[in-house]
Amino acid sequence: MNTTHDKAPSNLISVTLNKRRIPLLIDSGSCVSCVSYDFALKIGAKITPVSERVPERLLSANGVALTVVGQTEATVGLRGLLVPHVFVVIRDLNHKALVGMGFLQQTGCKLDMKAQVASFFDDLVLLPLFGKPT
């Protein structure tokens, strides 16, 4: 029987980050946006020390402490609309990047889980949600 619970969570959108196409995780449970250290190096991001606004201790969803390397500003491309945003650089992050509440509020993100769509800036940009292939 195929139910909604059998499917992988649909919380990814296809964006560009500094002109590189990636699946971006939408994480409403995260207080900050994060990018993996390896991916930050790959896109040539300038990594600087974290600002005082970043919590001293960041934890993953399963409670494991994250290793903060620094922060970087990167440009998120939402179907051609370019949004500069600050990301915390994390060593060994499970995703190339994820956006947290700051980005979601900045862009006015609305998630329609039934229609599987994320909208930004009062529906100026609509992006389909998808999950990891199983």
How far separated are the first and last CA of the chain, in Å rounded?
Answer: 16
51-106 pLDDT tens trace: 988 887 899 988 999 999 999 999 999 999 999 999 999 999 999 999 999 999 99
pTM above 0.75, yes or no: yes
CATH number of 16-128: 2.40.70.10
Q: Is 42 helix (H, G, I), strand (E, B) or coil?
A: helix
Domain residue extents for the chain: 16-128
